[in-house]
């Protein structure tokens, strides 16, 4: 099993952008800088792509909004009304799409190798993405 930790706020896949050039239209990624940072962390932690059938576990730890905390002397205290789980955007599947796109060719040869996948989105004081990859079993 390998465990990859990407520090910082998890990144969600954004929609492609389009630019009109003359009579044509060009598609481009508005996330090239974010992909580069993510890939840099991946390449530091993974030496070569894994082979065979794989099981992947992804945990996305997002920071709580400031509105979840009190004010004044209660600045560091969570409000009783603050939700336990993040049900706001970005959606979990957009976090997964971004991570899978970055992992393809670096962590595994092709995403078709992934036969088992589990992902969660949680609040944390330490925002990060944790990816665990292991050989899949029956």
* DSSP codes of every residue in 56-107: EEEEEEEPPPGGGB--GGGTTSBPTTS-SS--SSSPHHHHHHHHHHHHBTTT
62-105 pLDDT tens trace = 999 999 999 999 988 999 999 999 999 999 999 999 999 999 99
CATH number of the domain bearing residue 44:
3.30.1330.70
- 84, two tokens: 């336990």
Angle formed at CA 120 by CA 92 and CA 42, multiple of 5 degrees: 85
Which domain, by its residues, includes 22? Answer: 2-135
Q: What pLDDT is stored for residue 28 in this prediction?
A: 60
Instruction: Say what percent of the chain tops pLDDT 70.
Output: 93
Q: What pLDDT is stored for residue 52 in this prediction?
A: 96
50-65 pLDDT tens trace = 999 999 999 999 999 9
Query: CA 127, CA 25: separation in Å to the nearest integer?
Result: 37
How many separate domains does the chain show? 1
């Amino acid at each position: 099993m390998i465990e990859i930790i990407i520090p910082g706020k998890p990144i969600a896949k954004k929609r492609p952008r389009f630019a009109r050039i003359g009579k044509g239209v060009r598609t481009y990624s508005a996330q090239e800088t974010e992909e580069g940072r993510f890939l840099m962390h991946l390449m530091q932690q993974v030496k070569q792509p894994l082979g065979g059938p794989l099981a992947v576990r992804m945990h996305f730890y997002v920071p709580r909004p400031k509105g979840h905390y009190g004010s004044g002397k209660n600045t560091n205290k969570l409000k009783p009304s603050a939700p336990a789980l993040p049900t706001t955007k970005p959606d979990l599947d957009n976090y997964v799409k971004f991570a899978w796109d970055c992992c393809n060719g670096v962590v595994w040869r092709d995403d078709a190798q992934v036969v088992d996948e589990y992902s969660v989105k949680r609040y944390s004081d330490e925002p990060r993405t944790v990816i665990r990859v292991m050989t899949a079993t029956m």
